[in-house]
Amino acid sequence: MVTDKQGKVHFEVANPVAEVRPEAIMPARRLDTFSGKRIALWWNTKSHGEIALSAAAEAVERRFQNVTFVRFTRPMECSPGPYEDVVKAQCDAVIASTGD
């Protein structure tokens, strides 16, 4: 918003749509089994997401042997920090829940 010398207000309208620049990524290799694997359980703190995540973990435990779960509770965001924490935990896969 700009005011000129006569006191008139002028607005500049910008296009609110961002330019999309898709990047090709290689999807993770599919696990043959969950048996003996370390699985990250990631809840983004939205309401009741932890319930769905616990139910998923219980279903995996009933079907597969020797599964280890590592729980992460934090928002999913567009910065590498939280994702690097999962990598540092040496998890083989991630089950994520968004809640609501």
- Cα 52 from Cα 99, distance rounded (Å): 8
Name residue, tokens 């703190």.
45
Q: What is the pTM of this model?
A: 0.67
Q: Strand 68-73 relative to strand 2-3: parallel, antiparallel, unpaired?
A: unpaired
- Cα 81 from Cα 85, distance rounded (Å): 6
Domains of the chain: 34-100 (3.40.50)
pLDDT, one tens digit per residue, over 20-65 is: 888 888 888 899 999 999 999 988 888 888 888 999 999 999 999 9
Joined tokens for residue 1: 């918003």
- Cα 7 from Cα 44, distance rounded (Å): 49
* Residue 7 confidence (pLDDT) above 70: yes
Residue 97 CB-density burial (10 A; 0-12 exposed, 13-18 middle, 19+ buried): buried
